[in-house]
Amino acid sequence: MTVVTRFAPSPTGFLHIGGARTALFNKLFASHHGGKYLLRIEDTDKKRSTQDAIDAIHDALSWLGLDCDGPVISQSAQRERHAEIAEQLVTAGHAYKCYATPEELTEMRARQKAAGKPTRYDGRWRDRDPADAPAGVDSVIRLRAPQDGKTVLQDMVQGEVTVANDQLDDMILLRSDGSPTYMLSVVVDDHDMGITHIIRGDDHLTNAFRQILLFKAMGWQLPIFGHVPLIHGPDGAKLSKRHGALGAESYREMGFLPEALRNYLLRLGWGHGDDEIITDEQAKEWFDGSGLGKAPARFDTAKLTALNAHYLKATGNSKLAELIKPNLEKAAKTPLTDLNTQRLLAGMESLKERAKTLNDLTDSAALYVRQRPLDLEPKAAKILSDVAIAVLIEARKSMEHIQPWTADAIEKWARRYAESHDLKLGQLAQPLRAAITGSNVSPPIFEVIAIFGQDETLSRISDITKDH
Ligand code: GLU
């Protein structure tokens, strides 16, 4: 059997972080088994589904490296097929037409409520002759669900879960306007797409029982279900807006790398021993359906951030430069020159050691893009007191003789210079940092000075000292 999984988002908004995890699990499970992972857009609710949301889902999946294998299915395009199956079920006697009017059903529910009973369709048209159909009432099609016995689900995650069939009423498959219900569409599509395994959030666990009844009524092979607990926030409550960002694309905007988010989501509800850093290759090798937890995992931004810092350090310098380039250019309001790019690449090793996100990296890398004369940050301006400027004026003269212009040689010079001028190293290095970077913080300053080169460094010092 070839394993076929699917991710089936409803395009009513961004790609939820929980949805991204579902997509990841389905993709990994399929690729572990050498199978296929498909994408179905559940766009039957035309009022709530938007093209923007569909585009956003595709963008986020592709950013996360979770593109599907094969063409994307639109659920609404299969409408006629869904309706056809409902009619087939009627013909086979597994479904029937119900002519109850909305008023009748409202009254039925009110009576059930008053009697303290659960509100369920009472099967009033289940065995009635369609010849009794009242004139002018459009029928719905309902599943003729078993009334006794039980439905058992062998869930990959939840284990065996049982529901008594008298808890499940005869659900509507086709509405009176001829439109298929969600439950019908999902089952027909899963069958038609040849889905063998369905991994999804446990908010769909109760739907699974109704879907199983429908699979059985059609005599179709049941897929294997795995209902994963929803992601919770750090306080243990279901993840919601108040816990922060819910959309996968927000994590992109916050400067997270897709590989870090993938690794993080993988560990949310699935484990392989104590492994925290898991490569894509290992994930594919290990994700065989075991190791999925029954307890809801808690989203922990600090953990995600730590993973991201790890992946940043592991990313090549030119790739990082490419990734931050658009935001860097936006911040600098100018395209990166070749010289700036060279400097950025030379400084990247130290920059990435200190950054946790691409946004941190962009902020710190701006150092290599700013043009002189620099606008001093307030803290840098404070460092550049009259005394500090007097130090710079003298030091600059000596710096003209530094040979070779390397971080090592510059540092050796600085130590010797400070000692012979009765200065602490900081009394020289801090004014240099302020003058050359415009800031009071930077990567190791002698490295930065080496990267800027002698001419640029001396000019930057002159910019600061020339009016004194
Ligand atoms: N469209 C459903 C959702 O977005 C998923 C349905 C399913 O996975 O069966 O929650």
Query: Tell me: the pLDDT tens digits for 213-226?
Result: 999 999 999 999 99
Per the DSSP assignment, residues forming a β-bridge with 96 are 142
Percentage of the chain lying above the pLDDT 70 cut: 100
Q: Is residue 32 over pLDDT 90? A: yes
Q: What is the pLDDT of residue 397?
A: 97
Q: How many CB atoms lie within 10 A of CB 106?
A: 10
Q: Is residue 284 over pLDDT 90? A: yes
Spell out the domain ranges in the chain.
4-73+186-229, 79-183, 248-313, 317-368, 378-465
The pLDDT of 413-442, averaged and rounded, is: 97
Question: Which of 15, 186, 198 to mutate to test ligand 1, by most ligand atoms within 8 A of the CB atom?
Answer: 186
Q: How many CB atoms lie within 10 A of CB 449?
A: 29
Ligand 1 centroid distance, CA of 175 (Å): 20
pLDDT in tens, 228-278: 999 999 898 888 888 888 899 999 999 999 999 999 999 999 999 999 999
Q: Is residue 317 over pLDDT 90? A: yes
Best CA proximity match to 89, nearest among 127, 143, 140, 151: 143
Ligand 1 centroid distance, CA of 244 (Å): 23
Mark whether 325 is an active-site residue.
no
pLDDT in tens, 151-170: 999 999 999 999 999 999 99
Alpha carbons 143 and 7: distance in angstroms, whole number = 26
Q: Which amino acid would we find at residue 188?
A: V
Q: What is the pLDDT of residue 416?
A: 98
pLDDT in tens, 7-19: 999 999 999 999 9
Atom of ligand 1 nearest to the CA of 42: 1
Q: What is the pLDDT of residue 245?
A: 81
Q: What is the pLDDT of residue 226?
A: 98
Q: Residue 55: which pLDDT band, with cuts at 50, 70 and 90? A: very high
322 CB burial (10 A radius; 0-12, 13-18, 19+): exposed
The domain 4-73+186-229 is classified under which CATH number: 3.60.21.10, 3.30.70.3400, 3.40.50.620, 3.20.20.70?
3.40.50.620
Question: Which of 41, 188, 204 to mutate to test ligand 1, by most ligand atoms within 8 A of the CB atom?
Answer: 204
Ligand 1 centroid distance, CA of 9 (Å): 5
Q: Residue 425: which pLDDT band, with cuts at 50, 70 and 90? A: very high
Residue ID of nearest Cα to ligand 1 atom 6: 8
Catalytic residue among 47, 241, 333, 466: 241
pLDDT in tens, 57-97: 999 999 999 999 999 999 999 999 999 999 999 999 999 99
Atom of ligand 1 nearest to the CA of 203: 10
Ligand 1 centroid distance, CA of 19 (Å): 9
Q: What is the pLDDT of residue 467?
A: 87
Q: Residue 108: which pLDDT band, with cuts at 50, 70 and 90? A: very high
Alpha carbons 467 and 400: distance in angstroms, whole number = 20
Total-model pTM:
0.94
Q: What is the pLDDT of residue 332?
A: 87
Mean pLDDT of the chain: 96
Alpha carbons 404 and 398: distance in angstroms, whole number = 13
Q: What is the pLDDT of residue 400?
A: 97
Beta pairing, strands 36-41 & 4-7: parallel
- Ligand 1 proximal residues by C-beta, below 6 Å: 8-10, 42, 186, 200, 204
For domain 79-183, say whether CATH 3.40.640.10 is its number.
no
Alpha carbons 279 and 429: distance in angstroms, whole number = 41
Q: Residue 369: which pLDDT band, with cuts at 50, 70 and 90? A: very high
Ligand 1 centroid distance, CA of 110 (Å): 31
Q: Residue 181: which pLDDT band, with cuts at 50, 70 and 90? A: very high
SS3 154: strand
Q: Residue 191: which pLDDT band, with cuts at 50, 70 and 90? A: very high
Ligand 1 centroid distance, CA of 4 (Å): 16
Q: Is residue 46 over pLDDT 90? A: no
Ligand 1 centroid distance, CA of 197 (Å): 14
Q: Is residue 127 over pLDDT 90? A: yes
Question: Which of 4, 16, 42 to mutate to test ligand 1, by most ligand atoms within 8 A of the CB atom?
Answer: 42
Question: Which of 6, 7, 10 to mutate to test ligand 1, by most ligand atoms within 8 A of the CB atom?
Answer: 10
Beta pairing, strands 150-155 & 159-164: antiparallel
Q: What is the pLDDT of residue 123?
A: 94
Task: Report the top-level CATH class of 378-465.
Answer: mainly alpha
Domain 248-313 superfamily per CATH:
Glutamyl-trna Synthetase; Domain 2 (1.10.1160.10)
